[in-house]
Structure 1
C-alpha cells in the first residue's frame, strides 16, 4: 500500500478576520472556521509559518482604501513565509515542500486578496514568491518582502546608482532599515545619511549609515549638506525637498508630496526578491525585527496596536502561526 506523504489540507482554518472596517481592537477577531482559500491555476497554497504587519494593513482595516478593496470579511496580511503544500496546474517554479516567501498582493491598494497571510493557509501567485533565503528563519524572511521591494523599487525609480549620496527619512522603520542597507551594499552609495530618534542612532550606523541625524534635536532640512536622493519613508514631503541637491530626486511612500518629489506604491514581484537573495544569504543585508516581537499568532491585536504607535524598530512579525 502506498503511503501518501502529502499533508491533508483541511477545508477550514484558523485566521484573523474583520467583517467591518475599524481599528484593530474593534474589528479584528480570531476565528477557527475560516475557509481555506481556493487555488487558481497560477497559484500555490502556502502553509503559513510567519507573517509580518505593515502600515498598509492598518489603513486598509480602517477602510481608507475601500473604494478599491476586495469584499469583506477580510483576512489581513501582505507578507508571508511558509511551505508550499499544493500547486496550481500552471505552476512551474515551485513544488510541494518548498520554503517560500513573498508579498502576496501584486498591487497593494487595488483589490488585494480577501484571504491574506494572518491565517494558517494563503493562496499566492507563483510570480510573487521567491525561495526563502537558506540562512534566514521563517520569521526573518516574513519581515522582508513588502519593505525590501519598496526600498529597492524606490531606489531604482529615483535613479539611484553607485557613487551617489542619499538621505533616508525614517531610517529605523521597516522600510528605512532596508533602504540604508540596499543603498550601501546593493547600489554602492558614496554616502548614506538617515534620521531617527535618539535611541536608534547606533542602529542606523550598524546598518551602514555614515551619518545618523537625531530628528528630535536637528532639522535635517537646515543642514548645509544636500543629497542626490532623499527617500522619505515617513511623510515629510515639504521638508524633504529642501534637503536634495539641484537636479536630484525625492521619492516618498507616504503623505503629500511637493514637486520635485514623487509618490509611489510598490508592485509585488518575486524576481526582485530572487535578485536580492544573494545579499541576504551573504549577510550583507539583514532583516531587522522589532525586539518586542515576534508576537505569537494569538497576539495579533497587540501587534497591530504596537505597529500603530509608529514607534516600531524594523518590522513587527507574527510567529509562529497558528
Structure 2
C-alpha cells in the first residue's frame, strides 16, 4: 500500500455524481479525477477501504442540498488507508501510517466535496486515528461514523455503570456498536435491543440480555422501562413510551420528538483513540454484513445493497487489489 510523495500520481479513479438522484442513476466512475490538494492540517490517504452509510445515499438524493458542498461529489465518509503525504502542520501522523476515520467533522454542514470512494482522499489530522493493528482495513473502514455516533449518543444520554438501555435497531451499523459499547465500556446493567426474527442470535452474541423481535412484540408495551432508549430507526413517540420516568431518549433520526435528544455526529479522531484499546483486545468488534464487502468496481452494487435497508452491520468497499 505504501507510496512515496515522489511518485504520487496527479490523477485517480473515483466514483462521483454531478447531479442529485438515485445512486443507480447518477453515480459514475471517473478514471481521471484530480488527486486532492492538501491543506497544512491535512494528510493524503491512499484509500484501502471505504465504509458507506445511509447518509451517503440520502446526500446523493439531495436531502441536504441546503448545506451541501458543490457538485460534483465523491461520496464516502468512512476511510481506512495509508498516509502517503502530510501537510506542514501535521504532528500526529507520518508517511506510511495506517489510519482510519470519518473524514467529515460536521456530517451535514458542508461535508467534503471529495470523499473516500476514491483512490486518494485528503483528510484533516484531527478526525483520524491510527488503525488498530488487530483490525483489517475493511473492518476498520466499517467503524468510524457508526462507532462515533454510538459513543456520542451514549455520552449525551449520560449513560453510566448500572443503567439499563433499550437499543432500537440493534443489528444495524450503529445499533450493533451501541450494544457492545454499553456493555463493554459503560458497564450497563441490562441491554435490550430490537431486530427482526433472523437477527436475534446476533443481538445475543453482541451482548444483548433481552433481544426483542419487533415483528412479534411491541417494545413500547413491555412492562419493563429503561434508563436510556437509543433510537437509531426513528420510532419517535414509541421510543419515549419505553423510557423510565426521569430517563433519557436519544435519536439520530430527524425530526426527533422532545424530550428525545436529536443529534448529528461531530467526527473526532480523539474518540477513536479512546476506543482503540477495546478494539485491539477484541472486546468490541466491527460487524460487517456477510454479503457486505464489494470491490471498488462494484460500488453501485454496494449502494444498491445498502439501500435495501436489510443490512446487518456495515457495507464496505474494498480498494485493495
TM over 0.5: yes
The CA distance in 1 between the partners of 2:29 and 2:45, in whole Å, is 19
Mapped contact 2:167–2:230 kept (Cα < 8 A)? yes
Give the match for residue 124 of structure 1: 123
Partner of 1:144: 143
Give runs of aligned pairs for residues 79-118 of structure 1, distance below 5 A. Answer: 79-118=78-117
In structure 1, the residue matched to 2:312 is 313
Match of 1:241 in 2: 240
Other-structure match for 2:217: 218
Unmatched segments (≥5 aa) in structure 1: none
**Alignment partners' CA distance in 1, 2:6 and 2:235:** 49
Could you say which residue in structure 1 is the equivalent of 2:200?
201
Q: Distance in 1 between matches of 2:320 and 2:63?
A: 27
TM-score by length of 1: 0.98
Deviations 1:6-46 (A, max 9, x none): 56111110000000000100000011001111100000000
C-alpha contact 1:120 1:321 (8 A) present in aligned 2: no
Assess if the C-alpha contact under 8 Å between 1:15 and 1:120 holds in 2.
Answer: yes
The answer for the alignment partner of 2:19 in structure 1 is: 20
1:14-93 counterparts in 2 under 5 A?
Answer: 14-93=13-92
Deviation at 1:255, TM superposition (A): 3.4
Cα offset, 1:320, TM superposition: 2.7
Q: Is the contact between residue 119 and residue 321 of structure 1 (CA under 8 Å) also seen in structure 2?
A: no
Structure 2 CA distance for partners of 1:145 and 1:267, relative to 1, 3 Å: same
1:228 and 2:227 aligned: yes
Say if 1:44 and 1:86, in contact at 8 Å, map to a contact too. yes
Deviation at 1:293, TM superposition (A): 2.2
> Relative to 1, partners in 2 of residues 1:163 and 1:102: Cα closer, same or farther, differing over 3 Å?
same
For residues 28 and 250 of structure 1, the distance between their equivalents in structure 2, rounded to whole angstroms, comes to: 36
1:190 aligns with 2:189: yes
Give the whole-Å Cα distance in 1 for the aligned partners of 2:121 and 2:6: 15
- Contact 1:238 1:257 survives alignment (8 Å): no
Classify the secondary structure of the residue corresponding to 1:295.
strand
Could you tell me whether the CA contact under 8 Å between 2:294 and 2:318 is conserved in 1?
Answer: yes
Give, in whole Å, the separation in 1 of the partners of 2:293 and 2:186: 30
Kept in 2: contact 1:235–1:252 (CA 8 A) = yes
Report Cα offsets for 1:123-160 as digits up to 9, x if no partner: 00000000000000000000000000000000000110
| Separation of aligned partners in 1, 2:96 and 2:256 | 44
Offset, 1:5:
5.4
Q: 1:25 to 1:246 in 2, by over 3 A?
A: same
Distance 2:176 2:218 in 1: 20
Secondary structure at the counterpart of residue 150 of structure 1: helix
Q: Secondary structure at the match of 1:38?
A: coil
Counterpart-to-counterpart distance in 2, 1:7 and 1:76: 27
Alignment size in residue pairs: 319
Distance 1:5 1:236 in 2: 49
Conserved 8 A contact 1:7-1:85:
no
2-structure distance, mates of 1:47, 1:318: 14
How far apart are residue 260 of structure 1 and its match? 1.6
TM-score (norm 2): 0.98
